[in-house]
Amino acid sequence: MPSQPPSKPVIVCVVAARPNLMKMAPILRAFAKPDFAARPVLVHTGQHYDADMDSDFFTALDIAAPDFRLEVGSASHAWQTAEVMRRFEPVLDQTQPAAVLVVGDVNSTLACALTAAKKNIPVFHVEAGLRSHDRAMPEEINRVLTDQVAELLFTSEASGTSNLLREGIGAGRIHFVGNVMIDTLRLRLSSAPSVAQVLRDANLAGFIADGAPYALLTLHRPSNVDEPQRLRSLLGTVARLSADVPVLFPLHPRTRAMIHQHDLSDLLDAPGLACMQPQPYLAMLAMMQAARMVLTDSGGVQEETTALGVPCLTLRENTERPITVTEGSNAIAGRDPAVILALSRDILRFGGKAGRVPQYWDGHAADRIAAAVNTWFAQRRRRRP
Ligand code: UD1
């Protein structure tokens, strides 16, 4: 009788929040190829759960249903992180994985990395080494600590590699693979709808004349939206900008809640400003690609605008993705209304910077990750036959 081929070891892959999905989709595709050394098992922690922040993205990005759902939901950082750990541990006990792969910098990234590391299960971190050097950002804590417990670290830009080396991580564990989020952008861009269609779907038909310039705004960082004075100042600045150029503003649930809580809704009444529900992935790509400029505090949007060559102003004092500034189309505008307005008007008048696409933001980052993981498994087999 022919003997059964040995079953592949399991690699647990974790998703949690909206931006994780764009990063994980190409990785799962690369891991599904027959020559990949392991069998992926997908775990969704449930940090994001609204359909327009979550399940719609599974459909749009062709991600299979998760094998495990932890349904953690929203809570304080400590509660959310602890609850993910508590619910993730039994999944590891049940699946006995050879490795756990986490992406990005959300609370679930750290929670799952720490749970695995405590059980001596090797952790692979995709999008490692990014640093804002601002420890007041919850994501910075998640990045630093996840990298410290990771066995393989996949970087998306050169700064990631140099930050890790500076923090004492061995060069042999660091792989510069490029940007998986841009893998997804390159694969999906040609399927994006027209902006006119996006506006029709959002009941905003005619808000922007065909081909007329507009700005796109996203805001969700706690440092921008949780403090009422700052949120008031930013929304007031955008309302003023909207007198020069129409502004489309898909509202993150955190931001919507804060505007409501602090009674700031009147600032959204400017005639040139249109608020929208959180948008599907392809609609966001469509709106980014055709925008005259993008204003954002999102890391992913900084990268996507760089890949698209669309001028971007980051409404923060720093970025953990410096290549979007040194090579890409991004500039740090900070939060001073006068500076934001001056930089915006410069872009509207002179076009802003187009930049160039960074190395390895070429649609093949996930293939490089799969190759490095295959090598790791081959070395592991040699270590323990
Ligand atoms: C999280 C990540 C952030 C990432 C962002 C992308 C952390 C620390 N932050 O921030 O890095 O850029 O996701 O969106 O992990 N909510 C809903 N529906 C949802 C999800 C959230 O209504 O599906 C609301 C809840 O009121 C919740 C709030 O949004 O309390 C914040 O959600 P949370 O996941 O804690 O953080 P984000 O601000 O989304």
Q: Is the CB of 48 under 6 A from ligand 1?
A: yes
**In this structure, is the dihedral angle defined by the CA atoms of residues 264, 270, 271 and 275, taken in order, positive or negative?**
negative
- pTM, entire model: 0.96
Sheet holding 10-15, edge to edge: 68-69, 39-44, 10-15, 99-103, 123-126, 152-155, 174-176
| Active site residues per annotation | 220
In what helix (H) or strand (E) does residue 230 lie, and over which residues does it extend? helix 228-241
CA-nearest residue for atom 7, ligand 1, is: 106
Q: What's the gap in Å between 73 CA and the centre of ligand 1?
A: 9
> For the packed helices 299-308 and 281-290, what is the interaxial angle rounded to 10 degrees?
50
Residue 296: phi and psi, rounded to 5, are: -155, 160
Residue 316 beta carbon below 6 angstroms from any ligand 1 atom: no
H/E stretch holding 220: none
Q: Do domains 10-178+361-383 and 192-350 have the same CATH topology?
A: yes
- Nearest C-alpha neighbor of 82 from the set 107, 48, 52, 116: 107
Q: Give the residue, by CA position, lying nearest to ligand 1 atom 18.
A: 50
Beta carbons of 224 and 231 less than 8 angstroms apart = yes
pLDDT of residue 314: 98
Ligand 1 pocket: which of 74, 146, 259 to mutate (most atoms within 8 A of CB): 74
Q: Where are the alpha helices (DSSP H) in 97-157?
A: 107-118, 138-149
According to the model, what pLDDT value does residue 385 have?
63
Q: Which amino acid is at 329?
A: S
299 dihedral zone (left: phi>0; alpha: psi -120 to 50; beta): alpha
DSSP 140-199: HHHHHHHHHH-SEEEESSHHHHHHHHHTT--GGGEEE---HHHHHHHHHGGG---HHHHH
What is the pLDDT, as a whole number, of residue 338? 98
Distance of CA 6 to the CA centre of its chain: 36
Interval between CA 254 and ligand 1 midpoint (Å): 6
User: Burial, 261: exposed, middle or buried (Cβ in 10 Å; 0-12, 13-18, 19+)?
Assistant: exposed
Hey, what amino acid is at 35? Answer: D
E strands, the chain, in order: 10-15, 39-44, 68-69, 99-103, 123-126, 152-155, 174-176, 215-218, 247-250, 273-276, 293-296, 312-314, 330-332
Q: How many A from CA of 380 to the centre of ligand 1? A: 37
139 lines ligand 1 (CB under 6 A): yes
* CA of 253 relative to ligand 1 center, distance in Å: 7
Per the structure block, which two tokens stand in for 357?
Answer: 């696409």
Determine if ligand 1 sits within 6 Å of the CB of residue 74: yes
Domain ranges of the chain: 10-178+361-383, 192-350
Architecture of domain 192-350: 3-Layer(aba) Sandwich (3.40)
Partners of residue 175 on adjacent β-strands = 154
d(CA 70, CA 56) in angstroms, rounded, equals 18
**Mutate which of 14, 18, 20, 47 for ligand 1 pocket (most atoms within 8 A of beta carbon):** 47
Q: Which atom of ligand 1 approaches the CA of 104 most closely?
A: 11
Q: What is the dihedral of CA 270, 274, 275, 276, to 10 degrees?
A: 170
CB 47 less than 6 A from any atom of ligand 1: yes
Tens of pLDDT along 130-143?
999 999 999 999 99
pLDDT at residue number 383:
85
Residue 337 beta carbon below 6 angstroms from any ligand 1 atom: no
Q: Which residues of the chain have pLDDT under 70?
A: 1-5, 385
Q: What is the distance of C-alpha 182 from the center of its chain?
A: 10
CATH 3.40.50.2000 for domain 10-178+361-383: yes
